[in-house]
Structure 1
């Protein structure tokens, strides 16, 4: 009797039992892992010359994984960060398999040994206050779409929220009375409270007055009432940045994304003298190292710091070099 390959059942159990039930992973994590496995299975099937249904667990070797990661990085033009995310999704599955199918433990160990790739960490591209103002001035606020875009971008800058956190925003998460604040749900289902400016709250109120939403419905929607997607926001933002660059030319050399507003929030908080531990809480980071990367001081902050450092006096010879007896004693050692 032909042995039934355990791979389909294991992959189903990994998503339904392990990720969804035991780990209680967010829908975004599950979808990210799902997309990785779609790409990986299609890649292995194409190399074997058969369909995805013919791929067996024994075919998913460390060698195939290495080839897939190289393909994702070089042929698909993915970043090293994306490559590592793909690797994490696949390694997570094989860690699960190692505890379910001991006969595949050697194969699992080889896959789990594939290392995370290190890459250069560039300084984050942040926006100066005048650049933020120029971008926020572009949406036509006389239209519903322009009012929505202006409110969304203002909210991103005020709260430092990730784009998906902002797009998941619901009216019942906002405190419209003073003190104004918003409840955000970040990575790993972590909840945090961020303060809001009265001006931001006013923008959100006006948007709700013009386009009422139920307390549990998403606030930012398209013309059909469907929730906005991150790709749509990026597309609209690109047009606003292009128009703003005519007023503020420095924007022409910057790659501005919704995440750039998060960087700008961190940098501007640093330049205002806010303690970095407060910024970590504001942005929802677990590690202070992550905050240090995002909240790098801007040039103005560095110039102010330089003013507190005295100009070095004319170089003089150290005392130990002027002491001939000390040098003579050292020569005897």
Structure 2
């Protein structure tokens, strides 16, 4: 008689990994789940486009080391992904294969080989600092519009607190504390591993937060950063806005051409 785990298809394992392991057991953030979903969508699309294997026909064998190595090469050569991006994609798949090793031991040999995939080597870039460039970015934000006003608040909070983008997007209005006192205001940051930390806010940041909330009122359960449709702002949305602001500010501060201003710069 077959054991229950032997009846598990790769599709069932993926479903259980997201619904049970990530969301129920580990309670990872919404943005982490979205990031992992993107990695799987990209991999399944790769299997279909390159190997002719549709999502319904994928098996555990298609997560073996050889397939993953070819996928890394595909990301590098076809999609022009940098090592950091490739490592992030593979971290999601390797996390899944660790789950497979624990829950479906009959696949332990494949899981072990998959987990042997080495990380891509890359040089850590020298981080640029921005001062007058930051002021130029602030100045090109058109605060007469919702998008411009939101972009300015986004820049101020990133510069003030040094939050990761995923942390920035998790901030709710209720996480802003003491905004009525510019000298004692702070924001609660929800970090990795469901850890929280409280970060003091500068006077200029607090004053702008108050001005922003008076103009664009929100309930205490609402996320601070939303898009024009009222939905939560995404990582790609933040990246798009930063790139546009950098492009606009470069005309005023040419030194921006010599610096790489990314989400991590802040």
Query: What is the DSSP-based 3-state SS (H/G/I as helix, E as strand, rest coil) of the residue aligned with 1:121?
Result: coil
TM-score normalised by L of structure 1: 0.71
Go from structure 1 to structure 2 and tell me whether the alpha carbon gap of 1:179 and 1:41 turns closer, same or farther (over 3 Å shift): same
Which of these residues, 22, 33, 37, is aligned with residue 34 of structure 1? 37
In 2, Cα distance between equivalents of 1:161 and 1:116: 25
Contact 1:165 1:186 (8 Å CA) reproduced: yes
Report the CA distance shift for 1:144/1:111 in structure 2 as closer, same or farther (over 3 A). Answer: closer
What is the RMSD computed on CA atoms of the aligned residues?
2.1
Between the two proteins, the alignment pairs up a number of residues equal to 258
Say if 1:95 and 1:203 are closer, same or farther in 2 by CA, change over 3 A.
same
Deviations 1:54-96 (A, max 9, x none): 1111232211111011111221111111211222222222222
Deviation at 1:40, TM superposition (A): 1.8
User: What is the 5 A alignment of 1:241-320?
Assistant: 241-260=246-265, 262=266
Q: Which residue of 2 aligns with 1:76?
A: 79
Report what 1:121 is aligned to.
Answer: 124
Structure 2 residue 12 is matched with structure 1 residue 12: no
User: Larger radius of gyration, structure 1 or 2?
Assistant: 1
Alignment partners' CA distance in 2, 1:90 and 1:256: 29
Residue of structure 1 aligned with 2:211, choices 201, 206, 209: 206
Q: In structure 2, what is the equivalent of residue 311 of structure 1?
A: none
Give the Cα–Cα distance (whole angstroms) in 2 for the partners of residues 181 and 26 of structure 1. 22
Structure 1: runs of 5 or more not aligned: 263-333
Picking from 230, 234, 237, the partner of 2:235 is: 230
Larger RCO, structures 1/2 (Cα 8 Å, 6+ apart) = 2
Contact 1:139/1:150 (8 A) holds in 2: yes
Aligned partner of residue 256 in structure 1, secondary structure: coil
Shift of 1:185: 0.9
For 1:134, the equivalent position in structure 2 comes to 136
Aligned in 2, Cα 1:255/1:220: closer, same or farther, shift over 3 Å?
same
Displacement of 1:5? 6.1
How far apart in 1 are the matches of 2:86 and 2:143? 40
* CA deviation after TM superposition for structure 1 residue 236, in Å: 3.0
What is the correspondence of 1:164-203 to structure 2 with a 5 Å cutoff?
164-175=166-177, 176=179, 177=181, 178-203=183-208
SS of equivalent to 1:24: coil
Quote the offset at 1:192 in angstroms: 0.9
Do the aligned partners of 1:167 and 1:229 also contact (CA within 8 Å) in 2? yes
Give the corresponding residue for 1:145.
147
Q: Secondary structure at the match of 1:90?
A: helix
Q: Residue in 2 aligned with 1:154?
A: 156
TM-score (normalised: structure 2): 0.88
Q: Kindly tell me: are residues 123 and 144 of structure 1, through their superposed partners in 2, closer, same or farther at Cα, counting changes over 3 Å?
A: same
